Structure 1
Amino acid sequence: MSTEAPKAALRLGLTGGIGSGKSTVAGLLAEAGAAIIDTDAISRALTAPGGAAMPALREAFGPTLVAADGGLDRAAMRSAVFADPAALLRLEAILHPMIGAETERQAHLAAPDHALLVFDVPLLVESGRWRARVDRVLVVDCETETQIQRVMARSGWTREGVEAVLRKQASRAQRRAAADVLIHNEGLDLVALRGQVLALMQHWGFMER
């Protein structure tokens, strides 16, 4: 019987701008055996009807940003934080500690059964806090025009709406500078993208060649 302590799971931060294909890469990593801790999904759960963050959000922002079902009116909140940077700070002060706690709870549960923990964090670069929490950062990148076209096609947003979101996010250069590993998701079909993900998994020793 081995007396060696089990090897700690590798903590990978995954990020990318809107429309970059980050969520697709997360799905491919999950297919290959990684545990995905999705901070956006955690945020949605916290702000859903009956979510743990809703009492504090109602107190901070009033009932106008609460939807009829009791969850957060995400469109109204998006408009509020775009119009008022102070509102964004209030929102983050409520949500970020709760997201952080739930993220670590999920990581703790997943670690015994997974060698790779992937923290899917859209605003990893912008937050300034995540780099110290992960061992490596994987950035999914593509051309800005590609981002715009993808989001318009999938979400029905206007070009102006997508561009407004892009202006609030870190620049491509900032994300690329933060990357330990980069996937340039430009002109790749799903098969080619899967090949890049599997090659990374092999390089890191999580899959046999």
Structure 2
Amino acid sequence: MSEYIVAVTGGVASGKSEVTRRFETLGVVVADADVAAREVVAIGSEGLSEVVAAFGAGVLAADGSLDRAAMRARVFADAGERRRLEAIVHPRVRARVGTLCRQAGGDYAMAAIPLLAEGGGREVYPWLSRILVVDVPVQVQHARLVRRDGVDATLAEAMIASQATRAERLAIADDVIVNDGPLEGLSKQVAALDRQYRALAAGGVAAGSDSR
């Protein structure tokens, strides 16, 4: 059972997946909120039943699963609809991620929550022990999106603008990984934080310690 839980968050194309993969190689269990979001509306789930009750059977694909493209188009066109969907999905995601983290073995567990700053931070995740932000300059995010996803510059700008600002993410951070350089440097940062989190989980380092 892991009672010490570290959240990992960051903007689009910041390299969150690279960071969590490196923690996993060190034996840390990572519960992914994006994966949980799919699980809580899987076929046969209470979440999917509630979505259908709220939005109608038109949000289902032919196989009975949630038609994510149709749902996405609907909620992005109407903020009220988006909030209604979030009210169904988000509490289930938080509960699922929390359960997976607490059930994990090891000194501590991690919760990968991409939209933590946008979703209310510690106010809605009060069980988080610490928040790690993967940070990159906006121009690096932009370049990665264009190169990695093949989107044009305008769409890349829109994707970045739709999320919390860099300053808003850093405001909730206890620790920061700057991921704008070679991957070797990323591994060193992860290793150092892993040592810190194991010590914190064991009570060996003051809780107020900050790696920013």
Q: CA deviation at 1:132?
A: 2.2
Give 3-state SS (helix, strand or coil) of 2:118's partner.
Answer: helix
Partner residue, 1:10:
4
Contact 2:3 / 2:102 at 8 angstroms: preserved in 1? no
Cα distance per residue 1:21-44 (max 9 Å; x no partner)? 011111111111211111110101
Contact 1:21 / 1:185 at 8 angstroms: preserved in 2? yes
Percent of aligned pairs with the same amino acid? 37
Give 3-state SS (helix, strand or coil) of 1:183's partner.
Answer: strand
TM-score (norm 1): 0.84
Partner residue, 2:204:
none
Matched residues, number: 197
Partner residue, 1:198:
191
- Give the unaligned 5+ runs of structure 2: 200-212
C-alpha root-mean-square deviation of aligned residues, in Å?
Answer: 2.1
Give 3-state SS (helix, strand or coil) of 2:164's partner.
Answer: coil
Runs of 4+ in 1 over 4 A off after TM superposition: none
Alignment partners' CA distance in 2, 1:61 and 1:49? 16
| Residues 30 and 130 (structure 1), Cα distance of their counterparts in 2 relative to 1, 3 Å cut | farther
- Give the unaligned 5+ runs of structure 1: 1-5
Alignment partners' CA distance in 1, 2:53 and 2:111? 30
Alignment partners' CA distance in 1, 2:66 and 2:157? 24
Contact 1:9 / 1:114 at 8 angstroms: preserved in 2? no
Contact 1:65 / 1:72 at 8 angstroms: preserved in 2? yes
| Residues 136 and 72 (structure 1), Cα distance of their counterparts in 2 relative to 1, 3 Å cut | same
Contact 2:94 / 2:125 at 8 angstroms: preserved in 1? no
Of residues 60, 63, 66, the one that matches 2:57 is: 63
Of residues 32, 36, 39, the one that matches 2:26 is: 32
Partner residue, 2:206:
none
Contact 2:108 / 2:198 at 8 angstroms: preserved in 1? no
Partner residue, 1:119:
111
Q: CA deviation at 1:51?
A: 4.2
Contact 1:39 / 1:99 at 8 angstroms: preserved in 2? yes
Alignment partners' CA distance in 1, 2:21 and 2:143? 21
Contact 1:15 / 1:139 at 8 angstroms: preserved in 2? yes
